[in-house]
Amino acid sequence: MAKFFFVTIMMLNLDTGLVVPKYHQQIFFYDRVKCETYVQQNFTALKNGFGIYMDTFGINGQIQSLGCTEISREELEKMLEDSSTIST
């Protein structure tokens, strides 16, 4: 079973009080170590880019954490049906 590692931001929605994951759909890895290394080396750019994303779409949110999440192909297919969990 194929596993993918996506750059993931845990975002606190200040309107609802819920913490939800947002996955960067254009950056994924087949190896957790490579994903975590990428996040560490690009932390500021990823954080700032997500800030722009929230501003663009009027999301009243706050970043709680930034890291990598392991997702199977089946989980990914289910997530793609609900586009609210995928962001760029």
Q: How far apart are CA 58 and CA 18, in angstroms?
A: 16
User: According to the model, what pLDDT value does residue 75 have?
Assistant: 86
Query: Distances from the Cα of 1 to the Cαs of 4, 10, 30, 64, in angstroms?
Result: 10, 25, 12, 30
User: According to the model, what pLDDT value does residue 26 have?
Assistant: 87
pTM over 0.85, yes/no: no
* DSSP three-state, residue 40: helix
- Specify the amino acid at residue 83: S
By the 8 A CB rule, do 84 and 18 touch? Answer: no
Tell me the pLDDT of the chain (88 aa) as tens digits: 589 999 999 999 999 999 999 988 888 999 999 999 999 999 999 999 999 999 999 999 999 999 999 999 888 888 777 755 555 4
